[in-house]
Amino acid sequence: MGMSNMVGIASSTCQVGGGGGGGGWGWSGGAWSRRVSSGGGGNMKKNETSKNLAVLYFVCAFGFLGVVGSIYARLMFSPNVHGMLTKLGCVEDNEGSWAIGVFYGDSPFSLKPIEDVNIQKDKSAAWPVANPVVTCATVSEAGFPTNFVADPFLYVQGDILYLFFEAKNAVTMQGDIGAARSIDKGATWQPLGIALDEDWHLSYPYVFEFNGNMYMLPEGSGKGELRLYRSVKFPLEWTLDRVLLKRPLVDSFIISYDGKYWLFGSDHTDISSKNNGQLEIWYSSSPLGPWKPHKRNPIYNSDRRFGARNGGRPFQYNGYLYRVGQDCGETYGKHIRIFRVDVLTIDDFREVEVPSGIQESVKGINAWNGTRYHHLDVQQLSSGEWVAVLDADRVSSGDPNQRFILGCASAVGVATVVILIGMLLGTVKCLVPLSWCPHNLGKRSDTLLAWERPTLSSKMRLFCSRLNRISSYLRTKVNPRTFTGRSVLALAIFAAVVLMCIGVKDIYGGSGAQEAYPYNGHYSQFTLLTMTYDARLWNLKMFVKHYSRCSSVHEIVVVWNKGTPPLLSEFDSAVPVRIRIEEQNSLNNRFKADPLIKMRAVLELDDDIMMPCDDLERGFRVWREHPQRIVGFYPRLINGSPLEYRAEKHARKHNGYNMILTGAAFIDHNMAFKRYWSKEAAAGREIVDKVFNCEDVLLNYLYANASSSKTVEYVRPTFAIDTSKFSGVAISGNTQVHYNIRSNCLQKFAELYGSIADRKSEFSWRTDGWDG
């Protein structure tokens, strides 16, 4: 295309008018010249109107999408999405959010998490304890800002357990070595401080004893050498003892076996080495050296999935030596592999993989170990029991960066779609005003003009002019006034809304995990109990699938009141499901004592209520503050003369409540079930059986009757859906009849157990705003 044609296109699209005379720049006779046209003022006004319309369109479009994104964030994002554990540390880290859990077993291959062991103490509603037991908050709240904790190693000293681990410093962003102590077999840990801090990154603090001294062999590959430290004052003071090797070995350990000491580690600096896929062995007559390389080094230099990189302390069991390796295939530290060492000599090495016995979580990112775990240290106690520490994470490496990139891509997509919609509507007439494109207006001689070639600026103007023609092209192809045009517009608007929500989720919404909330530095779990019958099986299956993925749900108990019960294989559950078949169809069965329930907390939840996992986690956190209360999600205010049962709207109108419906409430099942089946409650239970209603009302009266202090507490759910409306099996089809029955129950229960009308609690008294 010749220059005159090129500029002809440029001058015909998206021009910006000049001064009072109007006109623009064009190409004429081989040179740029100023065109002056009469009536330029009218064109200027037209251009100005077009600009104002475009600006107004963009303001309205992005304002609307901003509102959509805000509503989406309000409804879908957990309050703890950015980590509310501590103000000091626990900042989202691209390396992950590693934490440490404790496991017990009769052997190193039958390890169970601490929540399955059911360690309880009466002093705190955080019991029974659940993993993780050491987190970034554990260290940060002790005064050492930490983003995550990983690479745990144990040292057993009688009945005391010491824990050494990598603590990712939230200020320097490098690893330090932290220390903690437990006097109750790992259920609770006291942070002791930072045991080792160097100018380079430290991790993998392998600790061992030799000749009465304590040694630590941390990874410090950033220094370029393998350093051995000796304890000066255990466990927090260490000094450099010696440099074992002038090599940057990663994740190394020393083990005594068959009369020699063996050092296992990985050197990833060689150009031919496979990152996380290489293993080297060295041997010596002393752990202090000197060290000689194994004749087969590198032992492995293969696929990183196969566990070549060490993943914790080796251990001996039933006469065999076992090595722990990391599978880094899908992501760094995906999970561990256990290898039985069959041959270990200076000339040969052979090992074979064996099952680890560690059950992976199926709760996904809602579980603290739902995505990966990469380090294990298992040791035998003097009692014969085995104890282990394992680090794990709910997200994979690079997750924040990946989400940020996807979020930015979504934002670009939103802007693109908005511009395309504007073009279809005619409010956006060009993408790039040609006045933004540089061009040469200097004087040139006729001789130079003859040799002139297209420049970068002219090519840019050509490209922009062609880009600007998209607007007119789209309007000729798609007419917004036709059915097809309106369909295209609707689809484009829908795409913009979807992209906006995706972008907000990726940039602001965190990993999407609905995490548990700690109390007194500890996590715990609860039993979810629901009561149903055969006609509501559809509700139940959806109920189990959803809530079994919630972080703190330990098990689900289904009280089966009527009909043929389903098979357990019919449920898609991430936790154990138990069906308790009742002989009599009675609502009193909801609060029947069940010795098989091990958790102190029970969430009584109707099978037709669906709410986010985070709502359950917040309710559980509040209940642990006051385990003597009924803590739930549906408040009622019982007042009037005579007493009348009314909906939540009445309670909010009078800014208070004195009852919590136990169709969605946390209780201490030992306390609640004992009260409900006491002799004093017999008359109330008869009323419940007679009217087939009011069992939750009765429990509220029994709580109030047994205490003069506050007995109920409300937590506001983000949202809740009644699935019975979709399946057509609602228990209370006629709301007014249902309310009348309950009003009658109020009168009778008040006569039996006293009034609760004077027990009013106000909304929004909590500082966290969860009861608003």
Find, among 328, 297, 287, 330, the residue nearest to 311 by Cα.
Answer: 328
What distance in Å separates the CA atoms of residue 85 and residue 516, rounded to the nearest whole number?
A: 11
Task: Confirm if 592 and 670 have CB atoms less than 8 A apart.
Answer: no
Residues paired with residue 579 on neighbouring β-strands, in sequence order:
558
Task: Confirm if 502 and 65 have CB atoms less than 8 A apart.
Answer: no
Q: Residue ranges of the alpha helices (H) in 655-734?
A: 669-676, 682-691, 695-706, 724-727
What distance in Å separates the CA atoms of residue 688 and residue 99, rounded to the nearest whole number?
A: 47
The dihedral formed by the CA atoms of 462, 466, 467 and 471, expressed in degrees to the nearest 10: 150
Task: Confirm if 180 and 190 have CB atoms less than 8 A apart.
Answer: yes
What distance in Å separates the CA atoms of residue 182 and residue 162, rounded to the nearest whole number?
A: 7
Kind of pairing, strands 526-532 and 553-560?
A: parallel
What distance in Å separates the CA atoms of residue 28 and residue 32, rounded to the nearest whole number?
A: 6
Quickly list DSSP for 129-165: EES-SB-HHHHHTTT--EEEEEEEEEEEETTEEEEEE
Task: Confirm if 522 and 133 have CB atoms less than 8 A apart.
Answer: yes
Q: Choosing from 696, 722, 758, 771, which is the catalytic residue?
A: 696
What distance in Å separates the CA atoms of residue 418 and residue 499, rounded to the nearest whole number?
A: 11
What are the two backbone dihedrals, phi and then psi, of residue 50, each rounded to the nearest 5 degrees?
Answer: -60, -40
Find, among 242, 343, 339, the residue nearest to 295 by Cα.
Answer: 343
Q: How many CB atoms lie within 10 A of CB 390?
A: 25
What distance in Å separates the CA atoms of residue 295 and residue 259, rounded to the nearest whole number?
A: 18
Instruction: Report the chain's terminal Cα–Cα distance, integer Å.
Output: 68
User: Residue 42: left if φ>0, alpha if ψ -120 to 50, beta else—which one?
Assistant: alpha
Sign of the Cα torsion 343, 344, 345, 349 reads: positive
What are the two backbone dihedrals, phi and then psi, of residue 99, each rounded to the nearest 5 degrees?
Answer: -140, 170
Task: Confirm if 195 and 239 have CB atoms less than 8 A apart.
Answer: no
Is residue 696 flagged as an active site residue? yes
Find, among 175, 160, 266, 164, the residue nearest to 215 by Cα.
Answer: 164
What distance in Å separates the CA atoms of residue 203 and residue 28, rounded to the nearest whole number?
A: 71
- How far, rounded to the nearest angstrom, does the alpha carbon of residue 252 sit from its chain's CA centroid? 31
What distance in Å separates the CA atoms of residue 555 and residue 571, rounded to the nearest whole number?
A: 13
- Whole-angstrom CA distances from 397 to 92, 313, 400 are 11, 23, 8
Active-site positions read 696
